[in-house]
């Protein structure tokens, strides 16, 4: 065992389960929403060590004086939970799988130990970090540089598409210790022999799920296959789809596992679902969802005050007990409204984001995002209104077909998958109503009479009616049930054909290869719709024969050009070629780099499609 390993095993760092994600860096309100907790091994201090007050929270990981100084200068006083959990493992050179989102301090969690373990005087890179986008690659490289401030001789290089290949080659030739890059560009350098990985000791896959989503997974596997067999692999991912688990099983060696959960998710179970609803049917869909999933308290979030009023009026007309909470409601009335919701005299609250901030009512079983939230932080806040005090909760998100592309961001923000659901049709709703009626009836039949005097009177009443009208007990019971159900009847009879029509249109959209939902792409050669005004259509030489999927094209093009994946437009795949809409005004050098870019082992040979 080396001196460093000994020091670590004896270290006096205990993991504080209540620590916040980033002790110094977050504003108060954000801290509240995304405060993280980590569940990992606790390392106890020996009595002698406990007496020695550490200078900073970073003292006990075996970091060098130079690094401790840099951290102090950056104002980091304590490691975040993911750092506390990862540092000891990574300093020992162990493989690690970390489930954590951006904002948890995950970059420093791997960068600091990797920097500390670098050997000086080596000519070839020792650390390679793969990141899904050019922005993240730049950000990670900048973090490495900042943390290496105490070692000015250390060289960090970011390599990604859309930048000059030659300058990257000459920097690599001069000698680099850490390379951070997008998979496509890294692979190109490796193929050309300009990135020598023979001396590589550690590989980091940052935001692995995002690399999978962008179609980079084959490239990542190719890179992994080329690396020395003795190497450390660190994988970070916000979510853990099965493909990522498979990758981890295959390429990581007995990895330490660290999971960071956001506070709002911790200890709670919120089932998240999303539903595609055209604008024209939102109000009806809302009533159907309430009918099928409502029960206890419900909060419906709408974007504007006007929408809160429209929604509330519609629901009231349909017989719901509704209240509104928006910026126009004076403070004292807001408190009364929340109290009514808490006590159960109101079941449905229709609110705007600002008005419902911090709302804490235990009986909220369902949150409906009637309008898409402004950003993922607002979404996390909204759904956090349910599942309180250890209860389970449900969240349903309404989105128009165009808004579907935002789903991934929301999944990443919560670290949980969002299931798709369909607008409940009459059959499902009526089955639910029947089930609930049966349950209530059984409960009522089983209950002891709360008031024996009233019960005796009611029995007498039943006796009298059945004698006067000569009715059987079943006929009397049916009449009583109808009375309880009320004049609107039990079954929902309204037209629900539109639901099927919407679903069909949705499927067609998927089949046409719209990227909001990458379920499919068409094989036929139907005439294509013209590109949008600010887009130029390009033709690329890969198609169904190469088994290309829209995600492969998005991933490769985004990686090479540095474009945000979302700004890549429509993709249509044909047997021998595909059409891709890209923003107008592509610089010539990027266009040239795309020409030779290989996707599914074939050069794109991109040309403008007139
Ligand atoms: P990341 O999750 O890696 O994107 O980090 C989020 C932000 O937290 C970055 O701005 C880091 O500089 C900062 N950060 C990372 N670790 C710490 C720490 N221990 N204390 C304070 N800030 C930190």
pLDDT band at 507 (very low <50, low <70, confident <90, very high): low
Give mean pLDDT, residues 74-89.
93
Predicted local confidence at residue 28, as pLDDT: 31
| Residue 371, pLDDT above cutoff 90 | yes
Give the residues surrounding ligand 1 with Cβ less than 6 Å away: 22-25, 76, 79-80, 83, 102-108
pTM: 0.49
Predicted local confidence at residue 390, as pLDDT: 60
The residue whose CB lies within 8 Å of the most ligand 1 atoms, and thus the one to mutate among 60, 78, 105, 412, is: 105
Instruction: List, for residues 41-72, the tens digit of each pLDDT value.
Output: 223 334 443 344 445 789 999 999 999 999 99
Predicted local confidence at residue 3, as pLDDT: 46
CA torsion angle for 328, 331, 334, 338 (degrees, to 10)? 150
Residue 120, exposed/middle/buried by CB under 10 A (0-12, 13-18, 19+)?
exposed
pLDDT band at 451 (very low <50, low <70, confident <90, very high): confident
Output 16 or 223, whichever has higher pLDDT: 223
Across 15-19, 217-221, 358-362, 573-577, the highest mean pLDDT is recorded for 217-221
Residue nearest to atom 22 of ligand 1 (CA): 25
| Residue 528, pLDDT above cutoff 60 | no
Q: DSSP of 247-307, one letter per residue? A: HHHHH-SS-EEEEEEETTTTT-EEEEEEEE--GGGHHHHHHHHHHHH--SEEEEE-SSHHH
Predicted local confidence at residue 599, as pLDDT: 86
Instruction: List, for residues 142-160, the tens digit of each pLDDT value.
Output: 999 999 999 888 999 999 9
What the block records as the tokens of 494 is 């309204």
Predicted local confidence at residue 505, as pLDDT: 64
Instruction: List, for residues 244-275, the tens digit of each pLDDT value.
Output: 999 999 999 999 999 876 544 443 578 899 99
Output 109 or 533, whichever has higher pLDDT: 109
Ligand 1: distance of its center to the CA of 89 in Å? Answer: 19
Query: Which segment of 7-21, 187-201, 310-324 scores lowest on mean pLDDT?
Result: 7-21
The residue whose CB lies within 8 Å of the most ligand 1 atoms, and thus the one to mutate among 15, 19, 21, 25, is: 25
Across 298-307, 524-533, 541-550, 594-603, the highest mean pLDDT is recorded for 298-307
Which atom of ligand 1 lies nearest, measured to the CA of 143?
Answer: 12
What structural domains and CATH numbers belong to the chain?
Answer: 3-50 (no CATH), 59-259 (3.40.50.300), 270-427 (3.40.50.300), 528-608 (3.30.70.330)
Predicted local confidence at residue 428, as pLDDT: 84
Predicted local confidence at residue 514, as pLDDT: 40
Length of the chain: 610
Instruction: List, for residues 303-336, the tens digit of each pLDDT value.
Output: 999 999 999 999 999 888 999 999 888 877 888 8
Residue 110, exposed/middle/buried by CB under 10 A (0-12, 13-18, 19+)?
buried
CA pseudo-torsion sign 529, 535, 541, 543: negative
Residue nearest to atom 14 of ligand 1 (CA): 105
Q: DSSP of 116-129, one letter per residue? A: HTPPTT-SS-SEEE
| Residue 569, pLDDT above cutoff 90 | no
CA distance 431 to 119: 68
| Residue 555, pLDDT above cutoff 80 | yes
CA distance 234 to 153: 25
pLDDT band at 529 (very low <50, low <70, confident <90, very high): low
């Amino acid at each position: 065992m080396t001196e460093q390993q000994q020091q670590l095993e004896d270290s006096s760092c205990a993991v504080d389960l209540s620590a916040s994600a980033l002790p110094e860096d977050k504003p108060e309100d954000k801290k509240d929403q995304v405060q993280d907790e980590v569940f990992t091994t606790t390392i106890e201090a020996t009595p002698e060590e406990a007496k020695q007050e550490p200078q900073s929270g970073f003292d006990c990981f075996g970091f060098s004086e130079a690094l401790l100084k840099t951290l102090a200068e950056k104002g980091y006083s304590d490691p975040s939970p993911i750092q506390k959990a990862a540092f000891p493992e990574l300093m020992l050179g162990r493989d690690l799988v970390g489930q954590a989102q951006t904002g948890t301090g995950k970059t420093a969690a791997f960068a600091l130990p990797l920097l500390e373990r670098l050997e000086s005087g080596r000519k070839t890179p020792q650390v390679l970090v793969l990141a899904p986008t050019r922005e993240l690659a730049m950000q990670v490289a900048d973090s490495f540089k900042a943390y290496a401030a105490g070692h000015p001789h250390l060289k960090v290089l970011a390599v990604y598409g859309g930048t000059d290949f030659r300058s990257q080659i000459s920097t690599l030739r001069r000698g680099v210790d850490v390379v951070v890059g997008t998979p496509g560009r890294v692979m190109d350098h490796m193929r050309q022999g300009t990135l020598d990985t023979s001396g590589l000791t550690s590989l980091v896959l940052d935001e692995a799920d995002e690399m999978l989503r962008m179609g980079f997974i084959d490239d990542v596997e190719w890179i992994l296959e080329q690396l020395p067999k003795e190497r450390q692999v660190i994988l970070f991912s916000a979510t853990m789809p099965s493909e990522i688990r498979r990758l981890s099983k295959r390429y990581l060696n007995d990895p330490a596992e660290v999971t960071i959960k956001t506070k709002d998710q911790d200890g709670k179970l919120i089932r998240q679902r999303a539903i595609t609803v055209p604008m024209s049917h939102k109000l009806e869909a809302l009533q159907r969802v309430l009918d099928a999933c409502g029960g206890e308290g419900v909060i419906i979030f709408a974007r504007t005050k006007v929408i809160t009023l429209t929604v509330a009026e519609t629901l009231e007309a349909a017989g719901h007990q509704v209240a509104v909470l928006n910026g126009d409601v004076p403070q004292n009335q807001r408190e009364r409204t929340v109290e009514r919701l808490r006590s159960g005299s109101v079941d449905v609250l229709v609110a705007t984001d600002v008005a419902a901030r911090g709302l804490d009512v235990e009986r909220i079983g369902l949150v409906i995002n009637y309008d898409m939230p402004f950003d993922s932080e607002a979404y996390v806040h909204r759904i956090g209104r349910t599942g309180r005090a250890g209860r389970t909760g449900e969240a349903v998100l309404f989105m128009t077909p165009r808004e579907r592309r935002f789903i991934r961001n929301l999944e990443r923000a919560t670290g949980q998958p969002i299931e798709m659901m369909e607008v409940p049709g009459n059959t499902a709703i009526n089955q639910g109503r029947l089930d609930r009626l049966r349950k209530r009836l059984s409960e009522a039949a089983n209950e002891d009479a709360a008031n024996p005097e009233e019960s005796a009177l009611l029995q007498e009443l039943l006796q009298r009616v059945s004698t006067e009208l000569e009715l059987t007990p079943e006929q009397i019971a049916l009449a009583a049930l109808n009375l309880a159900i009320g004049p609107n009847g039990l079954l929902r009879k309204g037209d629900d054909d539109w639901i099927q029509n919407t679903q069909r249109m949705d499927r067609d959209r998927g089949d046409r290869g719209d990227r909001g939902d990458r379920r499919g792409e068409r094989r036929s050669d139907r005439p294509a719709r013209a590109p949008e005004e600010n887009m130029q259509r390009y033709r690329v030489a890969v198609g169904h024969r190469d088994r290309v999927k829209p995600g492969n094209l998005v991933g490769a093009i985004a990686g090479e050009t540095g474009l945000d994946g979302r700004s890549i437009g429509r993709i249509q795949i044909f047997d021998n070629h595909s059409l891709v809409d890209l923003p107008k005004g592509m610089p010539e050098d990027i266009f040239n780099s795309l020409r030779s870019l290989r996707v599914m082992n074939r050069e794109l040979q991109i040309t403008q499609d007139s």
